Structure 1
Amino acid sequence: MSDDATSVPWRSPFLHVALASSLMGVMGVSLISPALPAVKQALALTDAQASLLLTAYALPGIFLAPVMGILADRYGRRAALVPSLVVYGISGGAIVFVHDFTSILVLRGIQGATGSTLVSLAVTLLGDRYTGQRRNQLIGLNGTVLSVGTAAYPLLGGALATVHWAAPFALYWVGVPVGLLALYVLEESGTGGESSSLDYFRDVVEAVPTREAALLYGAYVGMFIVLYGALLTALPFLLGETYGLSSFSVGLVLTTSSVMTAVTSSQNGRLAQLFTNWQLTGLGFVAYGVGLTGIWLAASPVQIAGAILFFGGGQGLLLPSLDSETSGLTGERFRGGVMSLRTVAIRIGQTIGPPLFTAAAAFVGYHPLLLVTGVVSVAAGGAAYVSASRE
């Protein structure tokens, strides 16, 4: 499709598959986060133990995302995406029938392994098909759709968790029909299996600018440490323990962040005409910090909901900008590998964030921890923006 096209191809089954895959991927955590207090109470867990529901999901992706990148580039996007969606749906949905916490963590690990690259594969599909500002536009649209999902999922997960702690997991079964749709819509592609995995990743490393790639992946790690540690783990426990909010009310507060993320990411195409992706990344971290500092200052759940509007805006700046920059690091041949390394970086952040914040909070409390994180985010974001403006 040409870069000067201005309309979104809403009727394209290809676009439907990409967006639906992203929605399934982001469901992995946003659906469960507001249910953490309910799971903790039902299974008699500590904060740190309950947070393992997020860590168990994130950890396998660190090791398996590169494998999925190889599959996507060598054997085609369909070969990687279809089985991932189907197994993701089955393993996540099966938790409804399990009540042993160890078994639940095993199923979450399987689900995380197969769901580790769903969003990255969706971005890869869009990067393959579109270029230039159109790529920014549709990756921004993908970010908007993700934000709509992350806005709806906490409400849905929180509401279902008030009925039964395991009820939210039933929604993961939707991954199975989405996988079948991808099987029908996507075409076979790939480069074949001529080279070894080691040769493949050596070629990927040689094909991308090392400094820019390191900065991009480092930004992903930092972003998701803060997102998963502060917003999706610390804040639900803070709201439950300090204000006695139900899972549904926690989900309602988290939704305000996602709504602002959706609004902001929908403007990524326009913002990309005014700022570079790196400038937008710096501004995103500044907004993160302002939101977290606002949570520290807030004296009620309503004020907290207002503060995390800034956090959500930061997320809406960060993810589409980083995804667009990463997608453009290399051509189609290695894009799956480059985006799988994006997933590795994200999974590292997702794995570190929850236990880091619950462990630190055990010593200093959630409020001081959020303040320190906010100050560091503002400083890092400001430095990134100034550096990008000078280049």
Structure 2
Amino acid sequence: MSETQTPTKATLWVIVASATLTIMAGAILGPVVPQIQSGLGVSESLAGLIITTHAAFIVLTSPIAGALVDRFGPRRPYVFGLFLYAVGGSAGLFIDAFVPLLLSRAVLGVGVAFVYTGITVLIFDLYEGQRMDRALGLRSGANSFGGATWPVVGGLLGTISWQLPFGVYLVAIPLALLAIATVPPTGRGSAAHGRSAGEAKRTDSARSLDGSASVVSIVRRRPALPFVYLLYFGANALLFAIVVFYPQLLATIGVTSSSYIGLYLAANGIAGGVSGVLYDRLNRRFGRHLLVLVAFAFWTAAFALATRAGSPLSALPPVVLFGLGLGLVFPSSFAWIESLAPTSRQGQFGSYLATFGYVGQFLSPIVFGPIVTAFGVRGVFGAATLAAALGVGAITLALARRNSVEYRLRKVR
């Protein structure tokens, strides 16, 4: 944590509220895709681009946002991102042509990239220890609760007009004003931060590397970094296996109403919110590695149960178990980046989480889609069961090796 003013309770809640915007970017329009298609007079696939285009621009611009956060500190890029989010997101209130609306979604994606990375580094800079774990857990919980509630809001507003849900993006403006008033500068990017980072490098060379070091050289010195990105990529890919394919599974057991399907997805989000809120206490008691192992065990059980679900009631535990695991994995991923990345490059390396996460979401239907053709929709969850079980095995081996090394070190001492 760099030298900074003491954050207040209001600081944390503004940051947490902003975290819900990153999931809202696409979630709030999901229920009104048919109305958008009709209102714009385009095909279903083109209407779907209105939902997904922002994600592509998050992937493209997150590294730029990370570099700017490291250079200027997280506060200004974060506030800039909130205003850009409001402009790009709310444009649909006034635009009723496909191409201009698509361009506005690109602007939204750039705004999300700055908000996402700004929040990450603000938490790293403003909090430490259990307070940082609590902030990361609340951030994850806010994302999960947002995933459960924003589609409901969008669906309700969409019954009035397909353009009305775009107005919800304007909530970013009061959040930006509150952020200006409550979020303090962190010192990152200033001379003061440069001195503190230099002292950290001299006193804790195991954690900090020279700011001019290449990404490849840093990853070589921190071989755990690729595994954190792989973990975050996999978690997002599995999440979208639920989002995309669980409605198809529910249809096989007679659940076809969009409102009932929404309840299952909401249960997933609420479960993730609960485990996210409890994350700091669970981490203090059990440790990050064990929590991620438990999450993969939850996922293995969830997907295995999904392959056997034969009634509406039996289809509920899988989404609850998956959500509980997600609320443990997401904050753990961010906490590991904070501990592994060089202090002066946390914006850059934190931004890669956004890149890997959204690429995972994009690739999920591409990877799992052929399985539906070959084995049916239950085959998707069979493959996901195998992937999660492999994760359990890999983490168990890593923990065993880690404990063995620690045991040998204790014997030498």
Indicate whether the TM-score tops 0.5: yes
8 Å Cα contact 2:288-2:332 kept in structure 1: yes
Query: Which of the residues 51, 61, 64 maps onto 2:61?
Result: 64
- Inter-partner Cα distance in structure 1 for 2:252 and 2:101: 24
Amino acid of the residue matched to residue 340 of structure 2?
A: L
1:182 maps to amino acid: A
Deviation string, structure 1 residues 228-254 (Cα, Å, up to 9, x no partner):
2x1222234555797464443332221
- Does the aligned pair in 2 maintain the 1:74–1:191 contact within 8 Å? yes
Pairing partner for 2:134 from 134, 137, 150:
137
Structure 2 match to 1:4:
none
What residue is the counterpart of 2:388 in the other structure? 377
Q: Any conservation in 2 of the 1:34–1:157 contact (CA below 8 Å)?
A: yes
Asked if 1:152 corresponds to 2:149, the answer is yes
Match of 1:191 in 2: 189
Structure 1 vs Structure 2: percent identity of aligned residues?
26
- Alignment check: 8 A CA contact 2:253 2:310 kept: no
Give 1:10 shift. 10
Q: CA deviation at 1:32?
A: 3.4
Q: Distance in 2 between matches of 1:362 and 1:40?
A: 26
Q: CA RMSD for the aligned pairs?
A: 3.2
Letter in 1 for 2:20: L
Q: Which has the higher contact order (CA 8 A, sep 6+)?
A: 1
C-alpha displacement at 1:319, in angstroms? 0.7
Task: Judge conservation of contact 1:161–1:167 (CA < 8 Å) in 2.
Answer: yes
Partners of 1:237 and 1:106 in 2: CA distance: 31
CA change 1:60–1:161 in 2 (3 A) is same
Give deviations 1:190-211, integer Å, cap 9, x for gaps.
42699xxxx9674565556431
Q: How does 1:256-335 map to 2 (within 5 A)?
A: 256-330=267-341, 332-335=343-346
Maintained 8 Å contact 1:55/1:350: no
Q: Partner of 1:5 in structure 2?
A: none
Matched, 1:213 2:234: no
Q: 1:131 to 1:389 in 2, by over 3 A?
A: farther
CA contact (8 A) 1:159 1:247 kept: no
Gaps of at least 5 residues in structure 1 are 2-8
Equivalent residue of 2:75, what SS? helix
For 2:38 and 2:367, the matched residues in 1 are separated by: 21
**Would the alpha carbon gap of residues 140 and 330 (structure 1) be closer, same or farther in structure 2, given more than 3 Å must change?**
same
In the TM superposition, what is the alpha-carbon distance from 1:130 to its structure 2 partner? 1.6
Determine helix, strand or coil for the equivalent of 2:165.
helix
Q: In 1, are the aligned partners of 2:7 and 2:183 still within 8 Å (CA)?
A: no
- 1:174 matched to 2:171: yes
Instruction: Identify the residue that residue 95 of structure 1 maps to in structure 2.
Output: 92
**Counterpart secondary structure, 1:211:** coil
CA–CA separation in structure 2 for the residues paired with 1:140 and 1:62: 23
Q: Could you tell me how far apart the structure 1 residues matched to 2:150 and 2:262 are? A: 8
Task: State whether residues 121 and 339 of structure 1, in contact with CA within 8 Å, keep that contact through their aligned partners in structure 2.
Answer: no
Q: 1:369 to 1:247 in 2, by over 3 A?
A: same
Could you tell me how far apart the structure 1 residues matched to 2:163 and 2:253 are? Answer: 24
Q: 1:387 to 1:10 in 2, by over 3 A?
A: same
**1-structure distance, mates of 2:79, 2:212:** 23
Secondary structure, counterpart of 2:326 in structure 1? helix
TM value normalised by structure 1? 0.84
- Normalising to structure 2: TM-score of the pair? 0.80
Q: Which residue type is aligned with residue 55 of structure 2?
A: A
1:162, CA displacement in angstroms? 4.5
1:159 and 1:248 in contact (8 A); partners too: no
Shift of 1:310: 0.7
Aligned length: 378
- The answer (yes or no) to whether the contact 2:237–2:361 under 8 Å persists in 1 is yes
Distance 1:301 1:53, change over 3 A: farther
- Residues 157 and 251, structure 1, Cα contact 8 Å, conserved in 2: no
Q: Tell me the SS of whatever aligns to 1:79.
A: helix
Deviation at 1:160?
3.3
Task: Tell me what 2:207 maps to.
Answer: none
Aligned equivalents of 1:40, 1:326: Cα separation in 2:
40
Distance 1:49 1:107 in 2: 15
Which one-letter code corresponds to 1:26 in the other structure? Answer: I
Residue in 2 that maps onto 1:367: 378
Q: CA shift at 1:68, angstroms?
A: 0.5
Does the aligned pair in 2 maintain the 1:37–1:237 contact within 8 Å?
no
